Amino acid sequence: MSAVKQLVIIISLFILFLSTGCAKKQTPEEEMYTILENVAAKEKTFEEQQKPLTKLEKHEKTLYDQIISLGMKEYDQITKQSDEAITSANKRSELFKKETKSMKDSEQAFKKVKSVKKRIDEPKLRKSADQLYDTMTIRYQAHDSLTNFYMAALKNDIQLYKMFQNKDISAIQLEEQVKKVNLSYEQVYAANDKFNNLTKDYNTQKLSFYKQAGLSNDE
């Protein structure tokens, strides 16, 4: 190998060393940005379940209205409609499980924020990061509650649909089960409102943090 070629190789290796050794290290704020955008990506599956869930809920409401409008002489039709409602409820259960898994993946990714935010030097910015962290933590807890209420409501729905198929069921028994279903969904709606409000708060706080840190989620 000629001396010139050796010199070119040495210079090339030296430049490569400099470019890798002097790579800019992320600031804590930039690390936060990376984590938070990854968290948002983890929740895509959660978002994708919303429309099909709503569609199934509306479908079941239609089936329920049809069932209660039928008399017992149309028992075969009642059985058919309630079977369809049970199938729909089971589909909702599967979709909601996907939603819950998405939130758990998001929560796991978000845990990295706890150590990173402690390394932020600027007091106001660290306070914003703390607030954002606290809000998101409460949001995950709110979704846990929502999950419990929703799955309980689903069980009550399925129980009601099965009761419709029992020729010997009394009007009083059906009325009591309908009350259970209604109470279940009152809890679901309240939990969902709390979760949605916390989601809005978190998104507002996240954008505020980005702005304060001179970051952008449009990159």
Examine the pLDDT at 7 and tell me if it is beyond 60.
no
Beta-carbon contacts of residue 183 (< 8 Å; ≥ 6 apart): none
Examine the pLDDT at 9 and tell me if it is beyond 60.
no
Instruction: Determine whether domain 27-213 maps to CATH 3.30.930.10.
Output: no
How large is the average pLDDT for residues 16-40?
A: 77
Domain residues of the chain, as ranges? 27-213
Model pTM? 0.85
How large is the average pLDDT for residues 140-146?
A: 98
Predicted confidence (pLDDT) per residue in 166-183, tens digit: 989 999 999 999 999 999
Examine the pLDDT at 8 and tell me if it is beyond 50.
no
Examine the pLDDT at 219 and tell me if it is beyond 70.
no
pLDDT at 217: 59
Q: Under DSSP, is residue 173 helix (H, G, I), strand (E, B) or coil?
A: helix
Taking the CB of residue 179, how many other CB atoms lie within 10 A of it?
11
**CA atoms of 182 and 159, how far apart (whole Å):** 13
Predicted confidence (pLDDT) per residue in 109-128, tens digit: 999 999 999 999 999 999 99
Q: Under DSSP, is residue 70 helix (H, G, I), strand (E, B) or coil?
A: coil
Examine the pLDDT at 6 and tell me if it is beyond 90.
no
Dig out the tokens for 96 from the structure: 């909601």
Predicted confidence (pLDDT) per residue in 51-80, tens digit: 999 999 999 999 999 998 987 778 899 999
Which of 19-23, 35-39, 53-57, 177-181 is predicted with the least confidence, judged by mean pLDDT?
A: 19-23
**CA atoms of 68 and 5, how far apart (whole Å):** 89
